Amino acid sequence: MAGGRRPRRIDAAERPAPDPDAAMEIAAHFLGTRPRTRRELELRLRRAGAADAVIGATLMRLEGLGLVDDVAFARWWAEQRDRHAPRGRRLVEAELRQRGVPREVMESLRGEEVVEPALDADALPGSESERAAMALGRHLRGRPIPDDPKAVQRLGAFLMRRGFDPETVRATLGAAGRRRADEADEADGA
């Protein structure tokens, strides 16, 4: 840019409101990075200055195309969490609420553990306790659970921050401690 000057940014108030085709293009671009909830798309179109009627029509069209589905989004989000950063049900539900997934959707999915296993479903946890064990294993990175009670307490706090309930945390830490003791007994006996 000549002279190091930036082009003047056009304020949303100065831009013309998007027509239905422009709104569809904005939504498609927004959906290009990852699936979105209905609420996320609505907020994005509002930020672009679209009229309520245009927003409603765009969302209906996207739903008709199967591109906006809060149930599918919630399943996708939970699977991504299981695959990359296991979290407890409470924290996953909080994240979904932040993204605008309705309470009814979360309640309908609450009983589902693993909806449809993906093709490479190996290592995907199927229950809350398996998610906690996976999160703990990733956190420890192959190291054994420590003997120090304070260190175990910190691990428990880590799992609690990840959204696991106290009962699941205690059970997970207890199982990890028993595994460590069993491995120590095998090493002594060998």
| Per-residue confidence (pLDDT) for residue 5, from 0 to 100 | 75
| Per-residue confidence (pLDDT) for residue 116, from 0 to 100 | 43
What is the DSSP code string of 80-125?
A: HHHHHS---HHHHHHHHHHTT--HHHHHHHTT-SSSS--TT-TT--
| Per-residue confidence (pLDDT) for residue 114, from 0 to 100 | 45
| Per-residue confidence (pLDDT) for residue 50, from 0 to 100 | 94
CA 34 – CA 31 distance, rounded (Å): 6
Angle at the Cα of 138 (from 134 to 100), degrees rounded to 5? Answer: 65
CA 89 – CA 87 distance, rounded (Å): 7
| Per-residue confidence (pLDDT) for residue 165, from 0 to 100 | 93
| Per-residue confidence (pLDDT) for residue 9, from 0 to 100 | 62
Question: What residues contact residue 35 under an 8 Å CB cut-off, 6+ apart?
Answer: 72, 73, 76
| Per-residue confidence (pLDDT) for residue 123, from 0 to 100 | 57
| Per-residue confidence (pLDDT) for residue 112, from 0 to 100 | 64
The owner of tokens 């060998």 is 190
Type of residue at 92: V
Which residues in the chain show pLDDT less than 70?
1-4, 7-14, 111-124, 189-190
